[in-house]
Amino acid sequence: MKEAEHVYTAPATSSGIPDGVVRYLDGTELLTKTQALRLSTVGSDGWPHAALLSAGDIVIMPSGRVRFAIFPQSTMASNLEREGRLTIALSLDGGICEMKLRCRCLAHSSSDVPLALFEAEVESVRQHVAPYADVTGGVTFALRDPQAVLPRWQRQIAALRAA
């Protein structure tokens, strides 16, 4: 039996959002999209801070900008308002896609969507793959009551598109 060679493979880089991510975050077929996206910021204490969002919380606009909705009182919102830097990661094409973004808070007020809306511009994209293994999935979830969640997600996507 031959041992798999273990060598560093640098991530592939690009400035554009991969087509697979654009399709995943197009705001459609939300109940079929059950991979959570990991968002990372840097806290005021200098430590990484993570949060998970669903495809019902994020949409990619035709301009290529990424819009998302989060709780206004969250640590993530505070970090974004202070620093404006965000990394989003998800499994894609046998690896992990990592997007670095610059964010700004959007002006928004709606009782239908009482969340903070942000818009982000992608600065860079890296695709991490290993030559000896495929990433077969990311953090996934199962909705307890999909029909109760879908209307909220649809309102959020509509608010993000309209902002």
Q: Could you tell me the pLDDT band of residue 92, with boundaries at 50, 70 and 90?
A: very high
Q: Are 38 and 130 in contact (CB under 8 A)?
A: no
pLDDT digits (tens, 9 = 90+) for 9-54: 899 998 899 999 999 999 999 999 999 999 999 999 999 999 999 9
Q: In this predicted structure, what is the pLDDT of residue 81?
A: 96
- Which candidate, 106, 99, 81, places its Cα nearest to that of 38? 99
Residue 91 phi/psi, 5° resolution?
A: -75, 140
pLDDT at 109 over 80: no
Average of per-residue pLDDT values in the chain: 95
Q: In this predicted structure, what is the pLDDT of residue 84?
A: 97
Q: In this predicted structure, what is the pLDDT of residue 99?
A: 98
